[in-house]
Structure 1
Amino acid sequence: MNPELADRAVLAAYVDAGLSIRKIAKRTGCSKSAVACALRQHGLSRRRVRVPDEMKKKLRM
């Protein structure tokens, strides 16, 4: 498994920033199904949460 998907905190930060499964997959270099599976394994919701733009900027690399 990709280290970013194995790390719940990183994956949770992507979800909290409002990234879609497709965008997380692109950022991590994984398939959408791998991202969806990792979200389920970590018990994370795929629903978007409103996040301030400042936090979104911090997650952009």
Structure 2
Amino acid sequence: MTPELPDRDVLAAYVDEGLSIRKIAIRIGCSKTTVAQALRQHGLSRRRIRVPDEMKKKLRM
């Protein structure tokens, strides 16, 4: 039985946390391949650039 994958927002949050595909797969309870396919399906990159809050403030100026 295949586990139901989280929606795009949940996957994006895991990636934003800095979790690897392996760690996401463990949390969800599926294979790394399934997670990689879901990320591609949702147009998410495994590596997301996190902008520190201080930098965000400077960019808004």
Q: TM-score scaled by structure 2?
A: 0.71
Matches within 5 A, 1:1-61: 2-4=4-6, 7-50=7-50
Residues 4-57 of structure 1 deviation map (CA, whole Å, 9 limit, x = unaligned): 1xx0000000000000000000000010000000000000000154488xxxxx
> Which protein has the bigger helix share?
1
Structure 1 stretches of 4+ with a deviation exceeding 3 A read 48-52
Of structures 1 and 2, the one with the larger relative CO (CA 8 A, separation 6+) is: 1
Q: Percent identity?
A: 76
Q: TM-score scaled by structure 1?
A: 0.71
Whether the 8 Å contact between 1:22 and 1:32 is mirrored in structure 2 is: yes
Runs (5+) with no aligned partner, structure 1? 53-61
Give me the CA root mean square deviation: 1.8
The aligned length equals 50
Q: Which has the larger radius of gyration?
A: 2
